[in-house]
């Protein structure tokens, strides 16, 4: 079996990855490349990080056997409850890890980008806790769409700076954050929110999120006496919850992997975010991967009902799984995600994030056997999506 888990020394997963950054960012990126593994693998870092995960974030999150859902789909469905983390999603696993790392690199100032505001909130939370200055770049349009999260970030002490170029959404916020980093290379760490960006970010973020699959293995063993499920399913925006959910299973041949992308109004509709279906090889935000772009390389504006999946690229880890057919990719449309959000709420009493509902909707696309063990990552909770849910009732 190949090694799908770790990139090579230059940050490549097969043909995807690398570090494509302006020369002025070389020192920052090199500093991280040289130090990240040694620091995050050190005993003192692990001790501090694991203590916070347990006592501050609330890990381990439960692995819940969803009896009603299992009955309906005539198989055995387990939900990994990342929705129960402090701040409501998996993003805190990474934000906390990176802010701790930044402290150890002697940084005083943290910058981040955010789309829906979830990563911004997680980063602002970690900075409040650990006493670092926090600046969050956010598209002007997103600031208007996501007012509650903007309020949370401000209350947590972060400065929220609007990105006013281009479409005034996530990709423009990333560009602003990169500009800031170029101007403040010594004092500042850029906390990227998914398994995207120049090497080592995809690997760094995947390592912090890999706690998800580590726990799944332990919990499955405890509950049913085996470590590996037959299927493991997660939604993919940039791909961080999916990378964490797949991490300890990608190199286990007998575990089948399924990724759910945002189809929007449908992959043919012109309003979609299904990057593996629509993307071509390109460079976006510092790494080589699949990108939704025109023939001359202009990034195409994506669409998804869930702001967290509304991204025109996909992390190199996942592009490689797609290329090598190690994972099966489904594209889930807005209406299918909504339907499954309502279904889970009604039969299990759990209101999921719209992003996570894309992973659940795979249950309608794929027939599982009665004895199959199917684990689905419930990446976040639905509080932030209530307005959308009530509008579409």
Give catalytic residue positions: 91, 113, 379
CA distances from 46 to 33, 40, 337 (A): 19, 7, 37
CA distances from 352 to 63, 242, 267 (A): 15, 16, 24
Q: Which is nearer to ligand PLP, 146 or 240 (CB)?
A: 240
Closest separation in Å from C-beta 281 to ligand PLP? 20
Q: Which is nearer to ligand PLP, 89 or 232 (CB)?
A: 89
Report yes or no: 181 and 111 within 8 Å, Cβ to Cβ.
Answer: yes
Closest separation in Å from C-beta 269 to ligand PLP? 21
Task: Say how far apart CA 388 and CA 384 lie, in whole Å.
Answer: 9
Alpha helices (runs of H) in the chain, residue ranges in sequence order: 26-41, 43-52, 67-73, 91-104, 118-130, 140-145, 147-155, 170-183, 201-209, 211-224, 240-246, 275-278, 316-323, 334-348, 354-360, 386-391
Closest separation in Å from C-beta 358 to ligand PLP? 8
Evaluate the CA torsion angle 246, 80, 64, 358 in order and state its sign: negative
Q: In this structure, what token pair is assigned to residue 83?
A: 């929705």
Closest separation in Å from C-beta 24 to ligand PLP? 27
CA distances from 149 to 33, 240, 308, 354, 381 (A): 32, 20, 13, 16, 14
Closest separation in Å from C-beta 357 to ligand PLP? 10
**Crossing angle between the packed helical segments 201-209 and 26-41, to the nearest 10 degrees:** 30
Q: Which is nearer to ligand PLP, 79 or 103 (CB)?
A: 79
Report yes or no: 118 and 149 within 8 Å, Cβ to Cβ.
Answer: yes
Q: Which is nearer to ligand PLP, 89 or 350 (CB)?
A: 89
Q: In this structure, what token pair is assigned to residue 12?
A: 């490549």
Q: Which is nearer to ligand PLP, 103 or 382 (CB)?
A: 382
Q: Which is nearer to ligand PLP, 75 or 351 (CB)?
A: 351
Closest separation in Å from C-beta 387 to ligand PLP? 16
Closest separation in Å from C-beta 114 to ligand PLP? 9
Which residues touch 290 (CB under 8 Å, ≥6 apart)? 16, 275, 276, 279, 280, 281, 282, 313, 314, 319, 322
| DSSP string computed for 178-245 | HHHHHH-TTTEEEE--SS-SSTTHHHHHHHHHTHHHHHHHHHHHHHHS-S--SEEEEE-SSSHHHHHH
Closest separation in Å from C-beta 193 to ligand PLP? 7
Task: Say how far apart CA 183 and CA 389 lie, in whole Å.
Answer: 41
**Interaction site with ligand PLP (CB under 6 A):** 89, 91, 118, 194, 235-242, 308-309, 353, 355-356, 379-380
Residue nearest to ligand PLP (CB): 380
Strand order in the sheet with 133-139: 159-163, 133-139, 109-114, 188-191
Q: Which is nearer to ligand PLP, 95 or 178 (CB)?
A: 95
Report yes or no: 47 and 40 within 8 Å, Cβ to Cβ.
Answer: no
Report yes or no: 276 and 290 within 8 Å, Cβ to Cβ.
Answer: yes
């Amino acid at each position: 079996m190949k090694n799908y888990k770790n990139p090579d020394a230059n940050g490549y997963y097969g043909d995807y990855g690398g570090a494509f950054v302006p020369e002025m960012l070389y020192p920052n990126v090199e500093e991280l490349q040289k130090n990240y593994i040694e620091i995050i693998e050190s005993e003192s870092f692990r001790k501090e990080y694991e203590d916070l995960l347990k006592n501050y974030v609330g890990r381990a999150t439960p692995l819940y056997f969803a009896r009603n859902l299992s009955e309906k789909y005539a198989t055995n469905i387990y939900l990994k409850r990342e929705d129960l983390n402090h701040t409501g999603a998996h993003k805190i696993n990474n934000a906390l890890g990176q802010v701790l790392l930044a402290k150890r690199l002697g940084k005083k100032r943290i910058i981040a980008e955010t789309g829906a505001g979830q990563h911004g909130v997680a980063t602002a939370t970690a900075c409040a806790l650990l006493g670092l200055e926090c600046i969050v770049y956010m598209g002007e349009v997103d600031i208007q769409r996501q007012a509650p999260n903007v309020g949370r970030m401000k209350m947590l002490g972060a400065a929220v700076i609007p990105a006013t170029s281009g479409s005034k959404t996530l990709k423009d916020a990333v560009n602003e954050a990169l500009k800031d980093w170029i101007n403040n290379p010594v004092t500042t760490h850029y906390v990227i929110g998914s398994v995207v960006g120049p090497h080592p970010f995809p690997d760094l973020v995947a390592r912090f999120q890999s706690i998800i699959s580590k726990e799944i293995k332990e919990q499955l063993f405890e509950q049913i006496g085996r470590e590996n499920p037959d299927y493991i399913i997660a939604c993919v925006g940039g791909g961080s919850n999916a990378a964490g959910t797949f991490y300890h299973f990608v190199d286990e041949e007998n575990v089948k992997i399924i990724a759910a992308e945002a189809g929007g109004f449908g992959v043919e509709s012109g309003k979609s975010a299904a990057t593996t279906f629509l993307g071509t090889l390109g460079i976006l935000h510092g790494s080589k991967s699949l990108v939704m772009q025109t023939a001359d390389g202009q990034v195409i504006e994506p669409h998804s009902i869930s702001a967290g999946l509304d991204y025109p690229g996909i992390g190199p880890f996942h592009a490689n799984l797609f290329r090598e057919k190690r994972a099966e990719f489904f594209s889930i449309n807005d209406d299918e995600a909504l339907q499954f959000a309502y279904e889970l709420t009604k039969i299990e009493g759990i209101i999921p994030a719209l992003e996570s509902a894309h992973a659940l909707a795979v249950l309608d696309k794929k027939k599982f056997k009665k004895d199959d063990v199917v684990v689905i990552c419930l990446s976040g909770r639905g509080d932030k999506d209530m307005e959308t849910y009530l509008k579409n009732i």
